C-alpha cells in the first residue's frame, strides 16, 4: 500500500502546476459515479480522483474528469464517455464497448486510453480504431500497460509512446485478448 501512496503523491506533485487540474472528488461524488457506471472503479483510479484531482493530471495533463460540469474544459468525462458508448440493455448493435472499460484520456483521432476496471491490476488499454481495416472494432484494442500503476510510472519517467522522442522507440502493443469476450 505504501507504494501506491507514493505513486499517488508523485502523480499529485507532477500535476500540481497544471491549469487543468480540478479539485478532487468527494466520497459522495465517487459513489454516485460508480452507481451510474454500475460497477466500482479500479481502486487506484478511484484514489487518484479522490486525492489528486477530478481530471487534469497524467499525460499531457489530460486525464478526463470523473464527471464533467459547467466549468469543465473537457467535452466528455469518464462516466459520460462510458455511458455514451454502452448500448442500452437488450438493444441489437453490430458492436459495443467492452463492459467495465472506462475511457480516461482522449488522445484525439478517436483514440482513447482506457482502464479495465474489471481487471485486478487496472490494465490500461489503447482503443485505436485507425489501426485496423474493416468494421471489427474488437481488433482495435491494445494493451498499453499491464496495470494503471505501470502506465503512470511510464508517464512519470517520460517513457510513454506519446512522448515527443517516442518516434525513435520501437513501440509494439499487443492486441487485447479479452476485447471480443467483454461485450
Closest Cα to residue 121, out of 11, 6, 44?
A: 44
**Distance from C-alpha of 153 to C-alpha of 147, rounded to nearest angstrom:** 10
Q: Where are the alpha helices (DSSP H) in the chain?
A: 2-15, 27-37, 43-51, 78-85, 148-156
In a domain, 166, yes or no: no
Put simply, whether the predicted model's pTM sits higher than 0.85 gets the answer yes
Q: How far apart, in whole angstroms, are the C-alpha atoms of residue 97 and residue 114? A: 11
pLDDT of residue 142: 94
pLDDT at position 137 is 81
Does residue 36 contact residue 79 with C-beta atoms inside 8 Å? yes
Domain count for the chain, please give it.
Answer: 1
Q: Is 83 a member of any domain?
A: yes
- Domain holding 19, by residue range, is 2-161+172-181
> What pLDDT, on the 0 to 100 scale, is given for residue 74?
46
In a domain, 95, yes or no: yes
For residue 114, is it within any domain?
yes
Instruction: Give me the average pLDDT of each 10-residue run along the chain (183 residues).
Output: 88 93 95 96 98 95 83 71 83 76 93 96 94 80 96 93 65 78 69
Q: What is the CATH number of the domain that holds 21?
A: 3.40.1580.10
Which whole-number Å values give the CA distances from 15 to 10, 21, 156, in the listed order?
9, 7, 10
In a domain, 167, yes or no: no
Amino acid at each position: 500500500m505504501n507504494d501506491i501512496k507514493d505513486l499517488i503523491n508523485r502523480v499529485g506533485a507532477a500535476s500540481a502546476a497544471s491549469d487543468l487540474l480540478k479539485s478532487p472528488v468527494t466520497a459522495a461524488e465517487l459513489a454516485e459515479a460508480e452507481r451510474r457506471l454500475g460497477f466500482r472503479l479500479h481502486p487506484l483510479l478511484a484514489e487518484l480522483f479522490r486525492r489528486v484531482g477530478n481530471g487534469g493530471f497524467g499525460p499531457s495533463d489530460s486525464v478526463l474528469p470523473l464527471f464533467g460540469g459547467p466549468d469543465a474544459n473537457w467535452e466528455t468525462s469518464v462516466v459520460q464517455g462510458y455511458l455514451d458508448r454502452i448500448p442500452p440493455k437488450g438493444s441489437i448493435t453490430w458492436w459495443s464497448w467492452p463492459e467495465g472499460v472506462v475511457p480516461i484520456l482522449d488522445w484525439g483521432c478517436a483514440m482513447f486510453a482506457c482502464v479495465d476496471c474489471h481487471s485486478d491490476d487496472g490494465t490500461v488499454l489503447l482503443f485505436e480504431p485507425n489501426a485496423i481495416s474493416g468494421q471489427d472494432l474488437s481488433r482495435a484494442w491494445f494493451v498499453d500497460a499491464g496495470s494503471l500503476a505501470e502506465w503512470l510510472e511510464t508517464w512519470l519517467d517520460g517513457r510513454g509512446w506519446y512522448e515527443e522522442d517516442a518516434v525513435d522507440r520501437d513501440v509494439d502493443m499487443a492486441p487485447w485478448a479479452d476485447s471480443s469476450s467483454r461485450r
